[in-house]
Amino acid sequence: MAGPKYPGFDTLALHAGQSPDATFGARAVPIYATTSYVFRDSEHAASLFNMERAGHVYSRISNPTVAVLEERMAALEGGVGAIATASGQAALHLAVATILDAGHHIVASNSLYGGSHNLLGYTLRRFGIETTFVNPREPQNFKRAIRPNTRLVFGETLGNPGLDVLDIPAVAQIAHEAGVPLLVDATFTTPWLMKPFEHGADLLYHSATKFLGGHGVAIGGVLVDSGRFDWEASGKFPQLTAPYEGFHGMDFEEESGTRAFLLRARREGLRDFGACMAPMTAFHILQGIETLHLRMPRHVESTRKVVTFLDRHEMVESVAYPELASHPDHALAQRLLPRGCGAVFSFSMKGGREAGKQFIESLRVFSHLANVGDAKSLVIHPASTTHYRMSDEDLSKAGITAGTVRLSIGLEEAEDLLEDLDRALAAAQRGMKGA
Amino acid sequence: MEFTVDGRKVFAYTAAHALDAAKPTIVFAHGAGLDHSWFGLQSRYFGYHGYNVLAVDLPGHGRSERAPLATIEALADWVLRLLDAAKIERASLVGHSMGALTALECAARRPARVERIAFLGVAFPMRVSPAFLDAARNNEQAAYDMETIWGHAPQVPLGGNPNPGMWMYGDTLARLARLRPGVLYADLKACNDYAAGLESAAKVRCPALFVLGRRDRMTPPMGAQALAAAIHGARTVLLAPSGHSLMAEAPDATLDALIGFFREAVGA
């Protein structure tokens, strides 16, 4: 017999996390723009501080508007809970700082967003946490890099810039055999395209700035815990399984079981690092999530049209999109991403840096900027912007050519996007011939 | 804190306090498929307000070793042996669902050892549907889904967890995912088979409180009426918005009901 039914994704995207406002009956999520909350009496205050009662004390730790976003994302991802942060980078830092100490080690995919690479490769190293970067295309690379002091395995569901598909089931198994969790950056896929916990990931985060918001008006992040990783059984995480002097001798796992990670992340991480999300930001992100299930199919549909167009264009050397049979992860994408491979991808143009610049400057609908996942279509030419100081040789090491262009396909009329690209490619081609 | 019962290592949460013979003791007994942390907020409160707390992991659950016990009577005897191991002669009991039946049976078997008893989310008989039992027997995901969905009020999945940022369904599913095969079935069968409820209720001599969720789909409030009527002087608190998972769905109201009940004992 089939079990009783859970609410569907679309329903959760609109409702999860919010009970209609009890005081005024507001249907939309109210914006609780308050730093703090009045205690009923002294005993109530003491109980809140000592975690004997649920509730809010100070908005750096929790806020009712932010809590709606957190619960909604936990529901959409199938996690026990979530913590919203000031940015996606703050979410990654919070995950790492909650369970790793100086002297620990991370094994990470080398196919990462540049900001994540900076944090792991340079900044965390200053604090005694080392990272080994591996090619994610071969899961055994993760296994070979694991050391006795490894405490985290990390990758992106769809990696930068070549859209490497992380083999989450295989990498999760490797991580679990080593007694450590797998954390994934699920920004490019969103829970509509893939639910990493169903494939074995233990922790995930999003840059909510991207598709979750979709409007490009707010910076934010969300860290979600599956609650499935058994910290006690692993034996490698005294941060969660031994009394912690920094929180009155609390043993987080003993105290809360499946909620141990989030308990420490909130009560220590938000308390001490303070990278919390503002309630207005949570409201903005929630407005986006309420239409995520409508936007993502359109993003994917238009992306497929653009990919097909570019793949056949004479000015295009190659297109890196896992739905193409030419992509090395095509089969894996069919298995893990049947709904589509997102709306951010790169292609390589003929003609090098100059052609790339000419192309970018000829676009009218695509916006030239450093972001992805907006409702508006976006473009950037790494060789002339984010990576402009690099030689062609160094670009190659980063998986980029002088002609690489990254697109983020928005929600405009697809025909208008194709026309814009066609015109700009023609302009680049004319520039090449004239040179 | 670890204890040894029947030669096996068992665990009870004590809110990071050593047991103090001068303090009154409250034992918290969880429901089917769960563990001590289901009482997290409530047990922590009492542990920091003058009580010894023993929030137990029943055998086969959480950190307690051995296979789950097959009957409510066996669970009750085990709780009494745990009190022996902890060198506690008398204690109050707070039980939820299966744990409530266990507490009832403790009070009936050894009334002199039970000071007060609070039943949370209880019914008698505690019938479990054949479909639920079958799914649990076969360790099917459907059993965990039933436990999760029927274990909360209908409005729960659409939000408003009093505990900021947590999703109750996800939390329950994650707990059930950690269960060893067969544990949920053993628990549900013990509840379903328990037949001595009214007879045992008549033997209860201590003050009793029923805390029930008006939207409880597993143990609807009506199902506790006969039990409450059989215990002299028993009182009932109905929590309007809550389903079966009272401690998570209505943590403050549940705690307030318990505080009021236990303060009576000290005349506060």
Q: What is the mean pLDDT of residues B124-140?
A: 96
CA distance A192 to A273: 31
- Residue A124 pLDDT class (50, 70, 90 cuts): very high
**Which residue of B40, B63, B252 is in closest CB contact with A255?**
B40
Q: What is the mean pLDDT of residues B112-137?
A: 97
Q: Would you call A15 an interface residue with chain B, using a CB distance cutoff of 8 Å?
A: yes
Residues of chain B contacting residue A63, judged by C-beta atoms under 8 Å apart? 164
For A106: left if phi > 0, alpha if psi spans -120 to 50, otherwise beta; the answer is beta
pLDDT at B268 over 60: no
Q: Would you call A21 an interface residue with chain B, using a CB distance cutoff of 8 Å?
A: no
Residues of chain A contacting residue B178, judged by C-beta atoms under 8 Å apart? 228, 230, 258
Contact across the interface for A17 and B141, Cβ inside 8 Å: no
Measuring CA to CA, which residue among A195, A171, A194, A157 is closest to residue A78? A195
> From the CA of B226, how many Å to the nearest CA of chain A?
29
Q: What is the mean pLDDT of residues A54-64?
A: 95
What per-residue confidence (pLDDT) applies to A140?
Answer: 97
> From the CA of A371, how many Å to the nearest CA of chain B?
27
β-strand pairing of B208-213 with B235-239: parallel
Residues of chain A contacting residue B153, judged by C-beta atoms under 8 Å apart? none
What per-residue confidence (pLDDT) applies to A100?
Answer: 98
For A189-239, the pLDDT digits (tens) are 999 999 999 999 999 999 999 999 999 999 999 999 999 999 999 999 999
pLDDT at B206 over 90: yes
Give Cα separations from A53 to A43, A65, A167, B43, B98 (angstroms).
11, 19, 41, 11, 24
Could you tell me if B4 and A223 are in contact, meaning their C-beta atoms sit under 8 angstroms apart? no
Could you tell me if A417 and A302 are in contact, meaning their C-beta atoms sit under 8 angstroms apart? yes
> From the CA of B233, how many Å to the nearest CA of chain A?
29
pLDDT at A103 over 80: yes
**Which residue of A12, A83, A227 is in closest CB contact with B165?**
A83
- Residue A427 pLDDT class (50, 70, 90 cuts): very high
Q: Would you call A329 an interface residue with chain B, using a CB distance cutoff of 8 Å?
A: no
Instruction: Tell me the pTM.
Output: 0.96
Residues of chain B contacting residue A74, judged by C-beta atoms under 8 Å apart? 165-167, 170
Give Cα separations from A207 to A222, A223, B102 (angstroms).
7, 9, 47
What per-residue confidence (pLDDT) applies to A433?
Answer: 74
Contact across the interface for A6 and B177, Cβ inside 8 Å: no
Q: Which of residues 39-98 of A touch B (CB under 8 A)?
A: 47, 50-56, 62-64, 66-68, 70-72, 74-75, 78-84
CA distance A379 to A338: 25
pLDDT at B28 over 90: yes
Q: For residue B114, report the phi and psi dihedrals to the nearest 5 degrees.
A: -115, 120
How many CB atoms are closer than 10 A to CB A45? 15
Cβ contacts below 8 Å, chain A against chain B, sum to 156
What per-residue confidence (pLDDT) applies to A1?
Answer: 45
Q: What is the mean pLDDT of residues A295-300?
A: 98
> From the CA of B164, how many Å to the nearest CA of chain A?
5
For A174-186, the pLDDT digits (tens) are 999 999 999 999 9
What per-residue confidence (pLDDT) applies to A2?
Answer: 54
Residues of chain B contacting residue A6, judged by C-beta atoms under 8 Å apart? 145, 149, 157, 169
**Which residue of A1, A82, A251 is in closest CB contact with B165?**
A82
Q: Give the containing element (helix H, strand E) for A151.
A: strand A150-156
Q: Would you call A235 an interface residue with chain B, using a CB distance cutoff of 8 Å?
A: no
Contact across the interface for A68 and B131, Cβ inside 8 Å: no
What per-residue confidence (pLDDT) applies to A21?
Answer: 82
Q: Return mean pLDDT, chain A.
A: 94
Interface confidence (ipTM) of the complex: 0.95
Select from B46, B128, B161 the residue whose CB has the most chain A CBs within 10 Å, as the one to mutate to test that interface.
Answer: B161
Which three-class secondary structure state does DSSP give residue B149?
A: helix
pLDDT at B109 over 70: yes
What per-residue confidence (pLDDT) applies to B192?
Answer: 98
Residues of chain A contacting residue B63, judged by C-beta atoms under 8 Å apart? 232
Contact across the interface for B142 and A72, Cβ inside 8 Å: no
Q: What is the mean pLDDT of residues A119-132?
A: 97
Q: Would you call A3 an interface residue with chain B, using a CB distance cutoff of 8 Å?
A: yes
> From the CA of A338, how many Å to the nearest CA of chain B?
23
pLDDT at A132 over 90: yes
Helical ranges in chain B per DSSP H = 40-47, 72-85, 98-109, 130-137, 141-150, 168-177, 183-193, 197-201, 225-230, 246-249, 251-266
CA distance A308 to A363: 19
**Which residue of B143, B144, B166 is in closest CB contact with A71?**
B166
